[in-house]
Amino acid sequence: MNKSDRIESFVESLGLDQKSDFDPCYLGYFECFNAQNYYEAHDVLEHLWLKDGRAAPDYAFYKGLIQLAGGFVHLKLHFAHPQHAKHGRRLAPARRLFLLAAKNIAPYGEHHHGLDLVAPLTLARSFAELLEKSHDTFNPWHPERAPRLPIPTGKNDDF
């Protein structure tokens, strides 16, 4: 089974609303993100992003959400293994991903694909700022205070 098939199977296992106008990979991103499964959130949305291609109007939007999850992958690994040779150096890359995420999401306005963009933009900017203020020495992420994103609602009328 190739990676694409594994992701499709994983998304199906999430048991998401089949009546939704949204792609299951898009909804799966939020399900995984809110469960603190940031790597899986990244993979699930990347699957949709790569399928749509660079010419798609949502290319940067999906890329920004993927970068947001990627930033939290770094913070979660750093939290779990702060003294590890590789994971101990993940704060600066996390900050860069948060900044890129905000840059890619911001052009889509206040609301896109059923999502209030204030939430992901605030997360990206606030975590980047906290890391910047500490000169990338303090990890602001903690599993007991892990951020959540709202689940997209309504019809997918943003196309």
As a whole number, mean pLDDT of residues 92-102 equals 98
∠101-104-109 over CA atoms, to 5°? 115
What value, to the nearest 5°, has the Cα angle with vertex 7 and ends 4 and 92?
100
Domain boundaries, the chain: 3-145
The answer to whether residue 54 scores a pLDDT higher than 90 is no
User: Which of the two residues, 85 and 131, has the higher pLDDT score?
Assistant: 131
Residue 159, pLDDT score: 43
- Residues 98, 125: contact at Cβ < 8 Å? yes
Structure tokens at 80: 């779990």
What would the pLDDT profile of 63-92 be if each residue is shown by its tens digit?
A: 999 999 999 999 999 999 999 989 999 999
pLDDT digits (tens, 9 = 90+) for 24-46: 999 999 999 999 999 999 999 99
pLDDT score of 17 more than 80: no
Q: Which of 138, 128, 135, 157 is nearest to 68 (CA)?
A: 128
Instruction: State pTM to two decimals.
Output: 0.91
**Is the domain defined by 3-145 classed in CATH 1.25.40?**
no
